[in-house]
Amino acid sequence: MTKAEVGYPTAISDQSDEGLRAAIQWCSRHLAHGQQVTVWAKAKRDLTGNELVRAYTSRPGVRTAVERGGGLSVANGPVLAMWAHADDLGRIMTGRGITALCVVRWGHGLPIWAKETGAEVLHEPDFVPYWTRNSEVTELGAETVEALGHLTLVVNHANPVDSGYEKRDVIKALRGLHAAGHELDERAITEWAAANGWPGENSQRLGRLAREVAQGKNHRTW
């Protein structure tokens, strides 16, 4: 896979105290004059339930973003995304004004996203949860990447990709991959789409459609 054109440096870390400290230091190193670090979280309790995060977000020059729908509308500098999942990445990266992005992951490693964006790995966990062992797709095949790259160019990303003509094009491509025997892993495709410019919820929608095609669901298209 080739590195996606994200437009700013990225990093990834685990949720340990060492990983959190490394993520905070990374964001501080990428902070320029006149900017502030934005700490994103899905829920307010994610910012208050950890002592390190709570202390960091109380510093001057650090703001928090807990937005309805789990998105990020605007930033002014580096973003520290706390305990993000694959489904969150597209909504986070849609935000304006991001100059650097560090993702503190939760559970799954986000390997496709990290490879596609060229993310710097700051800290790896000492223990891998049993539910993630041997369950993560770490690379997409060349034919899959080619088909997804073509979709990235032809669909109108201003529209939801699970309806209308966008859905028609997406389902056609996914059915072709499935018929040719290629694995359609929901999380891996969601990560790839988020790294390659599928905005908002469209990366998550693409991953869900891939899972449904793999499961044999009959989608109506026109």
108: amino acid identity, one letter: H
The answer to whether residue 137 sits within a structural domain is no
When divided into structural domains, the chain yields a total of: 2
pLDDT tens for 167-177 read 999 999 999 99
User: Last residue of some domain: 72, 98, 132?
Assistant: 132
User: Last residue of some domain: 91, 106, 132?
Assistant: 132
Q: Which candidate, 111, 106, 88, places its Cα nearest to that of 201?
A: 88
Question: Quick one: DSSP state of residue 4?
Answer: P
Cα 167 to Cα 62, 150, 159, distances in angstroms: 40, 14, 10
CA distance 219 to 129: 35
Residues 25 and 122 both lie in one domain:
yes
129: amino acid identity, one letter: P
**Two structure tokens written together for 124:** 């790896």
Residues 179 and 150 both lie in one domain:
yes
Residues 124 and 155 both lie in one domain:
no
Cα 175 to Cα 18, 34, 59, 164, 168, distances in angstroms: 43, 49, 50, 17, 11
Domain that holds residue 151: 142-214
pTM of the model as a whole:
0.89
Per-residue confidence (pLDDT) for residue 67, from 0 to 100: 76
Residues 40 and 126 both lie in one domain:
yes
User: Last residue of some domain: 105, 132, 159?
Assistant: 132
Residues 120 and 171 both lie in one domain:
no
Residues 128 and 146 both lie in one domain:
no
> What are all long-range contacts of 63-68, with beta carbons under 8 Å and residues at least 24 apart?
63/36, 63/37, 63/38, 63/39, 64/38, 64/39, 64/40, 65/38, 65/39, 65/40, 65/41, 66/40, 66/41, 66/42
The answer to whether residue 38 sits within a structural domain is yes
The answer to whether residue 1 sits within a structural domain is no
Q: How confident is the model at residue 1 (pLDDT cuts 50, 70, 90)?
A: very low
The answer to whether residue 156 sits within a structural domain is yes
The answer to whether residue 5 sits within a structural domain is no
Residues 128 and 149 both lie in one domain:
no
| CATH number of the domain bearing residue 106 | 3.40.50
88: amino acid identity, one letter: D
55: amino acid identity, one letter: A
pLDDT tens for 21-58 read 999 999 999 999 999 999 999 888 888 889 999 999 99
Q: How confident is the model at residue 101 (pLDDT cuts 50, 70, 90)?
A: very high
